[in-house]
Structure 1
């Protein structure tokens, strides 16, 4: 009987998927609870790829937030501090918005980052060694499931609600010891850059009490509708297919148009998309032309006023953040056209936002995030430290790795990745890094 008992014990250690997890059950009185209020908390164990335990302190906070239509809902964030860190009101808080880029619940950070979680093709898991660089600085990190329980990839506003309410929850969580004066930075790349942009845009009106000192936005999409058209039928057609599968559940008008024009094979395709992790979807759906699954050409469908209304609703840059922004974008990005991000930056500047915009000639969509990690965190550290802002600028450089004067910084990122890979301790301090950054680069 010993072996069956051990097998049952191992099964109990495997985390439950969000829809089966009692921790995430919505209380009946959630409408009476203020946004950002912690409803439940629990300690969790994080692991690299579900296998290598990480020497950090981590909790999950379930809290009240809102969906796209401002209806109350339960959301969850994973908050992390370095191992052995004591509650400290001077500790900065980094809100990292992951490039979840999926509908399946297995890709939610609250599941994908946990020890023994079973998921292949999650981008969040690949981002963890980069997130760990913030912990090495001694910062606290919050990673909200900004796609919500439905996995609403590409939805507007919802990522802002969930990320900002996640910050409120973290500030009130006693084991962190943070308070309303805690400096908060936003960071995200690609789908995470889009979510971070929503949080930055919504903060002035939705959560004005938060002390957000800066946002580092990597390849933040700009105009999701334009990205959809560009990727349709190409190598990365999995991304727009996942967005359509997610958004049709949120927009009744869009669902009506899609349903009326979808062939049976198209419905099967969207059902499949809902189950796929992003890296798997990109491989399996590469080159798929949506027209072969529709009763009339996609171009005609996109011209429908109901569909145009949804596309217009997704566009970023129409509200002004009240914090400075660092925007990073590959010039030759094969996923997000640089022109759409150029336009997003211009919309921000027209609204009076302070933007430092750096365009990278050598990097592509997938290499810029690791190469710019040291630069992004260094820039945020300067904002946390209250360093003077340089004049707003747009620069096109050969490589961000050179701009950041950061071979030392890149080596530090590599060292952190090695520490994470072996489950080593991420020793952090509370002293913000103020070494060479984009503001003072050679």
Structure 2
């Protein structure tokens, strides 16, 4: 039902599309079978955000691929940086409206961070948006109909070779900032390097957006970031793990452990998994989010490791603390929202994030969604967050809740 609703909204928002049915034989190859996703070797010594490969693609809002999106869309492979500072290659998509931007100023760019897609390469947004299977197309459609360009990141290791560094805030934030850079450096997109950048994301995307907001001044000072709209943020991974261990979100705990252990190879994981744990984690590495949610609900990490409470290991705690959000003041205003009944990302964590941002001196607009669950909250409030970015693009002053 949610997928149908999202697709319907997207189609409504892009109703001027010319219907050109696409056959099943026309579907693009999966990233595992598509050489576009493989970076040149050795990786060129170019600045972060530079485009390594590009190709024009068609986007669809339905699984039958009956409704091509009437925009300019370019898939890119671009240079970014891992959580530990190593240059890497990340894939993404740059979407530019065909209409002329009326102003004020240059056409804005939304650096869009997707919510959890999964760990299998076939879950990459740049692939799903070409096959009509991406569930977040409604918000992308809203941005496009406002005349904004959209820069989508697949994140590190999602689509490209290797394992996705899921839940690693530092690499997610850098991948998001760099896809915005790639958008403004891609001649075919026709965007200006001085264009205002708005950052948007929810759930995993909220983590990435907040991380981008915190790293923008130091990592990407060349970008004109004017605001970040973020919600459902897993700001404290220790708290999120404790809340979901033994609950319905255990599959996501396991996925986060895989992602962080990929980003930081020194943390113990593979070498402490039981035989059953290795089998489960191997499945998760190849799965998208719907399948992950059905794997081992109600189980605990201790059920699959030979060492109890493995993430309390000092090596784990060091890296988890490095990815704790809220201790760095974002250089631009932030819009933060969270549902009080979020069953996956504790509301307590959002309250603590707000407190840390306020203590750091951030300009922060805070919104509480009473009784809002995880999916319900973004469904109810995501449009408000996008509209808040529109105010930033119009140079209207931001208010603060601190």
| TM-score, with length taken from structure 2 | 0.87
Are residues 264 and 11 of structure 1, via their aligned partners in 2, closer, same or farther at CA, if it must alter by over 3 Å? same
> 1:305 offset after TM fit, Å?
1.4
Does 1:32 find its partner at 2:32?
no
Match of 1:100 among 96, 116, 128: 116
2:367 corresponds in structure 1 to 358
Does 1:312 find its partner at 2:318?
no
Q: Which ranges of 4 or more aligned residues in structure 1 deviate by more than 4 Å?
A: 9-12, 83-89
The answer on whether the counterparts of 1:87 and 1:174 sit within 8 Å (CA) in structure 2 is no
Q: Unmatched 5+ residue regions in structure 2?
A: 1-21
Deviation string, structure 1 residues 200-248 (Cα, Å, up to 9, x no partner): 1111001111111100011111101210111001011111011112222
Instruction: Classify the secondary structure of the residue corresponding to 2:172.
Output: helix
The answer on whether the counterparts of 1:18 and 1:24 sit within 8 Å (CA) in structure 2 is yes
1:326 corresponds in structure 2 to 335
> 1:84 offset after TM fit, Å?
5.1
1:400 corresponds in structure 2 to none
Q: How far apart are the structure 2 equivalents of 1:61 and 1:308?
A: 35
Of structures 1 and 2, the larger Rg is shown by: 1
Does 1:195 find its partner at 2:204?
no
1:145-294 matches, cutoff 5 A:
145-148=154-157, 149=160, 150-254=163-267, 257-294=268-305
Q: Tell which has more relative contact order, 1 or 2 (C-alpha 8 A, sep 6+).
A: 1
1:341-380 matches, cutoff 5 A:
341-380=350-389
> 1:258 offset after TM fit, Å?
2.5
Match of 1:113 among 123, 126, 129: 129
Q: How far apart are the structure 2 equivalents of 1:230 and 1:303?
A: 15
Q: How far apart are the structure 2 equivalents of 1:259 and 1:183?
A: 43
Q: How far apart are the structure 2 equivalents of 1:296 and 1:161?
A: 33
The answer on whether the counterparts of 2:206 and 2:234 sit within 8 Å (CA) in structure 1 is yes
Q: How far apart are the structure 2 equivalents of 1:115 and 1:318?
A: 39
The answer on whether the counterparts of 1:231 and 1:335 sit within 8 Å (CA) in structure 2 is yes
Deviation string, structure 1 residues 249-304 (Cα, Å, up to 9, x no partner): 232222xx324432111111100111111122112332123322222433xx2332
Q: How far apart are the structure 1 equivalents of 2:131 and 2:98?
A: 16
> 1:91 offset after TM fit, Å?
1.2
Are residues 231 and 318 of structure 1, via their aligned partners in 2, closer, same or farther at CA, if it must alter by over 3 Å? same
My pick for the range that moved more, 126-135 or 46-55, is 46-55
> 1:69 offset after TM fit, Å?
1.9
Aligned length: 374
Instruction: Classify the secondary structure of the residue corresponding to 1:268.
Output: helix
The answer on whether the counterparts of 1:233 and 1:287 sit within 8 Å (CA) in structure 2 is yes
Are residues 226 and 101 of structure 1, via their aligned partners in 2, closer, same or farther at CA, if it must alter by over 3 Å? farther
The answer on whether the counterparts of 2:167 and 2:256 sit within 8 Å (CA) in structure 1 is yes
The answer on whether the counterparts of 2:251 and 2:292 sit within 8 Å (CA) in structure 1 is yes
Are residues 339 and 207 of structure 1, via their aligned partners in 2, closer, same or farther at CA, if it must alter by over 3 Å? same
Q: How far apart are the structure 2 equivalents of 1:56 and 1:287?
A: 43
Are residues 27 and 260 of structure 1, via their aligned partners in 2, closer, same or farther at CA, if it must alter by over 3 Å? closer
Q: How far apart are the structure 2 equivalents of 1:85 and 1:113?
A: 24
Instruction: Classify the secondary structure of the residue corresponding to 1:253.
Output: coil
2:17 corresponds in structure 1 to none
Deviation string, structure 1 residues 17-53 (Cα, Å, up to 9, x no partner): 3343222332235342111112221111111244233
The answer on whether the counterparts of 1:87 and 1:176 sit within 8 Å (CA) in structure 2 is no
